[in-house]
Chain A
Amino acid sequence: MKTNTTSEVVINEVATATGANQQFSALKVRGKRLFNWVAGLAILFGLWWLGGYMLYINPDTTNFADFGPIPTLKAFPGLWADGTIPDAIKSSGYRLGIALSIAISVGIPIGILLGRSRRFRELSNSPFQLLRMISPLSWEPIAVIVFLSWNQAIIFLLAIASVWPVAFATAAGLAKVDPAWFKVARNLGATRWHTLTQIILPAIAFDIVTGIRAALGVAWIVLVPAEFLGVTSGLGYSIADARETLSYDHLTAMVLTIGIIGYLLDSSLAYVIKHWCWHRAA
C-alpha cells in the first residue's frame, strides 16, 4: 500500500487551500458585480421615485404624479394584456430588423471596399463623411416624398442612420488585418472568394459586430422620434399616443420598455462580441 509522506500531504493541503481560495475570490468578485448592478438600478429607481414624489406633493404638478415609478409599474400589466406593448415591440422590431439588415448588407461591402481599395477610399471619403454628418431625421421630409409609405420612410431613416457605423467599423477592422495573411492564403491556393470568406470575414467578424452594436444604438435612438409622425404603430407612436391622451403612466411605461429592450439588445450584442473576439488579452 502506498502511503503519502508528510511533505506530500502538506503540498496537497496547500494546493486544495489555494484552489478553494481562488474559487472564493472569484465568487466574491461576481457577488460584488451583481451587488453593484442591482445597486445602480436601485439608485436610478430611487431617484425616479423621488422625482415622482416631488411632483405629487406639489399642488401645481400633482397631475403629473403618474410619471412616478409606482403608477408606471402598475400600468404595465394592462398595457401588456391589451396588446399595446407586444404590438408596439412587433412593429418597431420589424422596422429595426429590416433597416439593420439593409445597413449590414450595404455597410459590410462598403467597408470592405473602403479597406481594400485605396482609390475607392479616396474617392468616397468626402461624400461619406458629409453624408454621415447629416442627422438621420433631417432626411424625413425627403423620405416621405420618395417612399410610398411612412413605414418605408422610417425604415430608410433607420438604415441610413445605421449603415455608417457598420461600414466604418468594417473598414477599421480590415485596416488591422495582417497583410501577410493574404500572402499566406494565396500561397496555399486561395481564390478571391476563399480570401473573402475564410480570411477577411472571420478576421473582422469582431469589428463588424462592434459596428452593428454601434449601429443598433444609433437606430434605436432614431426609431422613437421617427415613429412620432405618420405611423399608427410602434414604440414611438405609443409614446406620442400616451402623451396626447395624457396617460402619463402609459407614457413612462413605454419609455421604460424602450430602455429595457435597448439594454437587452445591446447586452446580447456585447455577448456576441465577447464570443467572437479572437484577440487574446495582453
Chain B
Amino acid sequence: MAIRGISIEMDNLTHRYTAQSPLTFESVNVEAAPGESLVIIGRSGCGKSTLLHILAGLLEPNGGSVKLDGKKVEGTSPRWVMMFQAPHLFPWMTVTSNVGIGLKFANWPKKKIRERVGYALSLVSLEEFADNNVQDLSGGQQQRVALARSLVMEPEMLLLDEPFSALDAFTRASLQHDVRSIAKELGINLVMVTHDIDEAVLMADRALIMAGQPGKIMHDIEVDLPDPRERNDPQVRASRVELMKIFHDAANTPQESPSELVITTI
C-alpha cells in the first residue's frame, strides 16, 4: 500500500460561531500521520461537524490553527475533499457530469475528465450508471456517486460528515467497507465524524471521543484491528463494547471535572 496521505496537525483549535454565542469547542489538539483514519465520535451538538468543516477549510477557526503537511489551511483545496451527510448531487446532471464537476472547475480537458471519471466510477462500482440522471438512482447509489465525486479529485484526505447516516443498514455496511478499503488502497487519510460506535470500530485507525459543552477531545483510542473488519467478528464486537463503555463514561463526565486527554488502545 502506497501512502499518499497527508500529515494533520490541529493546534489548540477553538471556535464559536458569533461573538455572542458560546464556545462550540475548545483546545482541540490532534495529530495524525499520513494515511491514518481518524473517526471523531460524539453526540449531536458537541462540535464535531464544525471541527470537520474547519479541517476542510470551509470555516475559519476563532483560535488555533490546522496544518496539513506543515502548511496552514486557509481555504478549500482539491487535496482535501469533504463528503456530506446527504449526497447533495446536482440533479440536472448525469452521474458522469456530477463526478467530473470538480475536474471541470479545475479546467481539465474533456478526454482526461472522462478517463478519470471512469476510474472513479469503477472504484464505487457504478460504471453501468454513468449516463443515468442522478435522480434515477437509489439513496445508496447517490452516496456512492458523491464518494466518486470526492475520489475523482485524488484527494490526500477524505473528510466524511456522517455520510452514511441516512442509508439503510445493508447499504451503510457495504459503503463503510468500501470507503475504508478504497482509502487504504489509495493510502489517503480519512477523517470521519459519526455518532455511531459500530461505524467508528469498522472504519477507524484511531477513534477520538468528543464530549462536553464546549466540546473537547476526551479520549484518543487506537483501534488495533486487522482488515477487512467484519461486524460480527468477535474482535470487532469486543472493541465495540469497550469503545461504547469509554464513550458512555466520557459523555457522563461532569463538566467541572478536569478533562485531560486519555490515550488508549483497544
Show the binding face of A for B, using Cβ within 8 Å: 178, 180-181, 183-191, 194, 198-199, 202-203, 205, 278-280
Question: DSSP majority for the A interface?
Answer: helix
A202 CB contact (under 8 Å) in B56, B58, B90: B90
A198, B107: Cα distance in complex, Å: 13
Which B-chain residue is minimally distant from A193 (CB atoms)? B105
Closest Cβ of chain B to A181, distance in Å, is 6
> What A residues does B82 contact at CB under 8 A?
187
Q: A180-B84, A202-B92, A280-B135 are in contact. Are A188 and B58 (CB under 8 A)?
A: no
B102 within 8 A of A: yes
12 more A-B residue pairs beyond the given contacts A187-B76, A188-B76, A194-B104, with a C-beta to C-beta distance below 8 A: A183-B58, A185-B101, A186-B76, A188-B105, A188-B153, A189-B76, A198-B101, A202-B92, A202-B93, A203-B92, A278-B133, A279-B91
> What A residues does B91 contact at CB under 8 A?
278-280
B106 within 8 A of A: yes
B32 within 8 A of A: no
B244 within 8 A of A: no
A280, B92: Cα distance in complex, Å: 10
Closest Cβ of chain A to B82, distance in Å, is 5
Closest Cβ of chain B to A178, distance in Å, is 7
A183, B86: Cα distance in complex, Å: 12
Closest Cβ of chain B to A222, distance in Å, is 33
> What B residues does A202 contact at CB under 8 A?
90, 92-93
> What B residues does A183 contact at CB under 8 A?
58, 84, 88
Closest Cβ of chain A to B78, distance in Å, is 5
> What A residues does B149 contact at CB under 8 A?
188
Which B-chain residue is minimally distant from A205 (CB atoms)? B92
Q: B29-84: which residues lie under 8 A (CB-CB) from chain A?
A: 56, 58, 76-78, 81-82, 84
Do B92 and A198 have beta carbons less than 8 Å apart?
no
B78 CB contact (under 8 Å) in A189, A191, A205, A278: A189
Interface residues on B, range: 20 to 34
Closest Cβ of chain B to A177, distance in Å, is 11
Show the binding face of B for A, using Cβ within 8 Å: 56, 58, 76-78, 81-82, 84, 86, 88, 90-93, 101-102, 104-106, 133, 135, 149, 153
A194, B101: Cα distance in complex, Å: 10
A173, B93: Cα distance in complex, Å: 18
Q: A186-B76, A187-B76, A189-B78 are in contact. Are A180 and B105 (CB under 8 A)?
A: no
6 contacts between A and B (CB under 8 A): A187-B76, A189-B102, A198-B104, A199-B90, A205-B92, A279-B91
Do B92 and A188 have beta carbons less than 8 Å apart?
no
B105 CB contact (under 8 Å) in A181, A185, A280: A185
Q: A180-B84, A198-B101 are in contact. Are A187 and B58 (CB under 8 A)?
A: yes
Do A180 and B88 have beta carbons less than 8 Å apart?
yes
> What B residues does A278 contact at CB under 8 A?
91-92, 133, 135
Q: A188-B78, A189-B76, A189-B77 are in contact. Are A181 and B88 (CB under 8 A)?
A: yes
A191, B92: Cα distance in complex, Å: 20
Do B86 and A198 have beta carbons less than 8 Å apart?
no
A202, B56: Cα distance in complex, Å: 26
> What A residues does B153 contact at CB under 8 A?
188-189
Do A198 and B58 have beta carbons less than 8 Å apart?
no
A199, B88: Cα distance in complex, Å: 12
> What B residues does A189 contact at CB under 8 A?
76-78, 102, 105-106, 153
Do B92 and A186 have beta carbons less than 8 Å apart?
no
A7, B14: Cα distance in complex, Å: 71
> What A residues does B76 contact at CB under 8 A?
186-189
> What B residues does A190 contact at CB under 8 A?
105
Which B-chain residue is minimally distant from A179 (CB atoms)? B88
Closest Cβ of chain A to B141, distance in Å, is 15
A183, B92: Cα distance in complex, Å: 17
A184, B135: Cα distance in complex, Å: 17
A190, B58: Cα distance in complex, Å: 13
Which B-chain residue is minimally distant from A182 (CB atoms)? B88
A185, B227: Cα distance in complex, Å: 34
